[in-house]
Structure 1
Amino acid sequence: MAPTSATDIEANPGTTSHVNASANADAPLTTNGTGEKEKEIATMLPESEGKPSPARRSISSRWSEAVSPKHADLICLVLCFITGLCDSAAYNAWSCFLAMQTGNTIFLGLGASSQPSGKPWGWLKSLLSITSFFIGSLLFSLYGRHVGPRRRSTLFTSFLFQAALIIIAVALIEADLIPHTEAESRTLTGGRLFLELIPIALLAFQSAGSITSARALGYNEIPTVVLTSVYFDVASDPKLVQDVSGNVKRNRRVGGVVMLLLGAIVGGWLSKSSGGMESALWLSAGLKGVIGIGWLGWVAEVK
């Protein structure tokens, strides 16, 4: 078809509309398919952006999952060792316990008659230790019940917090702000004497975290902080003389006694060393920190 000239258009005005219609007819038809796709993409983008990536979901689910209690009795035995370390070092320096509150209760009772005569404020240290341990037990238990006692995140944060409290206490001692030898404590009747109450409170508070974790993991036969009931349970066990593999609870109880005794022996020797009681506390903090980090890689509980 020959092109339409300007003269033809002027002569026949109707040709213009015919040309436009013809041009529109010859042009390729456009659909709204592209627009619909853009709308679909726009609709999908916020939803996909709102979802965490698979890696993030994996980390989040692992953080909140419960750990398997299988073989966690070995962790409880290490906690017994730590109790021995801390209590032997503390008793050597301050004549009170941090975890074994039965002994502190006796010392508190002796304070009513102003005994021992050379330690007029011994009852106050014992009372503070008992109180701090009680508060620690309450708060650690509440925390576990609120977020889940065997969750990976619960155990991780709990043990790192315990390690941090030990580090704060030993840092105060390292700075020579706190009396930390028996000779220093014996020659003081006030002033710096009462500064001993700071690390005692911190260390007794964190000791409660050990037994809280042992109970949460289901190993009631390893209390980690007391042995009197364990001695009774071992002696009264009707299966006491069974073979090693036939009485697992007995083995755990005996292991707890051995580990706590070993910790007390090591703590005593460390207190006599050039590092003093600080070395025993640093070791305790290190072990609790390692345990806390270890929970990150612990096997999850199979549901």
Structure 2
Amino acid sequence: MARDGRVFEKDPETGSSDVLTRPRPSGLSGYLSQDIRLQHADMILLVCSFISGLCDSGAFNAWSCFVSMQTGNTIFLGLGASGLPVTKPYGWLRSMIAIISFLFGCFSFSLTRNFKPRSRGMLSVSFAVQAILLTVAAVLVQTKVVPDTTDGSESMKVLIPLVFLGFQAGGQVWASEVLGFKEIPTTVLTSVYFGLASDVRFMQGIKTNPSRNRRLGAVCALLLGAISGGWLSRSRAGIPAVFFVAAGLKYVISAMWLIWVASSA
């Protein structure tokens, strides 16, 4: 007989029931609940590194703070204690809001740890939420609700998109943790640079040192994202384009998780 999704057979001598099988979930819910295969999932995290470079370069150019790299924001927060920089008296507040939002994002997304965080459905929903938050931030800037230049960066309105941007960055870091590729933290490079400099197998072939390959990919992706963010900021599209592109990429990632190959385990 079946109970709670499990199949039991009753022992005629003892009267006890033993579990025979736990059938694989079927239907749409079963498909979405399947864990993804990790092969090539590191490529998704490289795209996330690109997105971090994109968003941080755009945010720093407009508001003199970061939304993903919280080390830099911590330094800016510390400078605020001495009233520096004198041209940005509220720079510390922007950095603090970004840090707090990032922490709340990490905490909120980490609550999915008990709901198959590596499943197709959960990963897709996670990145869809991140994409929506990026879209909201982009729309706020596009519609001039929030100033997108350094001249208006002292306006308290800039704190609004920083909340959305910092929160979604926390979700991205959680995804990196769930997928388990420590070489691609997606938001910072200090540990990545250390890993490259201390790698005794650095000069080995491409196929024999995947950890080095991922680290190099993370550096290149984040740098390319920062360069792209700079050029987009200088274009006619301006800062909103930076966040719209980032949102578009995360919508694509969300859709890709839905068709990702399932783990055979």
Amino acid at match of 1:156: S
Amino acid at match of 1:285: A
- In the alignment, the residues of structure 2 paired with residue 57 and residue 299 of structure 1 have an alpha-carbon distance, to the nearest angstrom, of 16
- In the alignment, the residues of structure 2 paired with residue 265 and residue 150 of structure 1 have an alpha-carbon distance, to the nearest angstrom, of 31
Bigger proportion of residues as helix: 1
> CA shift at 1:244, angstroms?
1.2
**1:104 maps to which of 61, 68, 73:** 73
User: What's 1:172 paired with?
Assistant: 140
Pair 1:149-2:122 in alignment: no
Deviations 1:85-115 (A, max 9, x none): 0000000000000010000000000000000
User: What's 1:128 paired with?
Assistant: 97
Note the aligned Cα RMSD (angstroms). Answer: 1.0
- In the alignment, the residues of structure 2 paired with residue 131 and residue 70 of structure 1 have an alpha-carbon distance, to the nearest angstrom, of 33
Amino acid at match of 2:229: G
Amino acid at match of 1:71: H
User: What's 1:235 paired with?
Assistant: 197
> CA shift at 1:220, angstroms?
1.1
> CA shift at 1:183, angstroms?
2.3
Structure 1: tracts of 5 or more residues without a match: 1-55
Any residues of structure 2 matched to 1:75-90 within 5 Å, and which? 75-90=44-59
Percent identity over the alignment is 50
* SS of 2:138 mapped into structure 1: helix
TM-score by length of 1: 0.78
User: What's 1:217 paired with?
Assistant: 179
- In the alignment, the residues of structure 2 paired with residue 57 and residue 230 of structure 1 have an alpha-carbon distance, to the nearest angstrom, of 41
- In the alignment, the residues of structure 2 paired with residue 111 and residue 217 of structure 1 have an alpha-carbon distance, to the nearest angstrom, of 36
Structure 1: 4+ residue segments shifted above 2 A: none
* SS of 2:264 mapped into structure 1: coil
Deviations 1:8-29 (A, max 9, x none): xxxxxxxxxxxxxxxxxxxxxx
Amino acid at match of 2:195: D
User: What's 1:46 paired with?
Assistant: none
* SS of 1:238 mapped into structure 2: coil
User: What's 2:12 paired with?
Assistant: none
* SS of 2:187 mapped into structure 1: coil
> CA shift at 1:146, angstroms?
2.2
Pair 1:206-2:191 in alignment: no
User: What's 2:61 paired with?
Assistant: 92
- In the alignment, the residues of structure 1 paired with residue 26 and residue 119 of structure 2 have an alpha-carbon distance, to the nearest angstrom, of 16
* SS of 1:114 mapped into structure 2: coil
> CA shift at 1:252, angstroms?
0.1
Structure 2: tracts of 5 or more residues without a match: 1-24
Pair 1:116-2:85 in alignment: yes
Greater Cα radius of gyration, structure 1 or 2 = 1
- In the alignment, the residues of structure 2 paired with residue 183 and residue 196 of structure 1 have an alpha-carbon distance, to the nearest angstrom, of 12
Pair 1:276-2:238 in alignment: yes
> CA shift at 1:63, angstroms?
1.1
Bigger proportion of residues as strand: 2
> CA shift at 1:182, angstroms?
1.3
Amino acid at match of 2:95: S
Amino acid at match of 2:87: G
User: What's 1:261 paired with?
Assistant: 223
> CA shift at 1:184, angstroms?
2.4
- In the alignment, the residues of structure 1 paired with residue 250 and residue 151 of structure 2 have an alpha-carbon distance, to the nearest angstrom, of 29
> CA shift at 1:150, angstroms?
0.1
User: What's 1:62 paired with?
Assistant: 31
Deviations 1:173-222 (A, max 9, x none): 1111101111222xx4xxxx111000011001101111211111111110
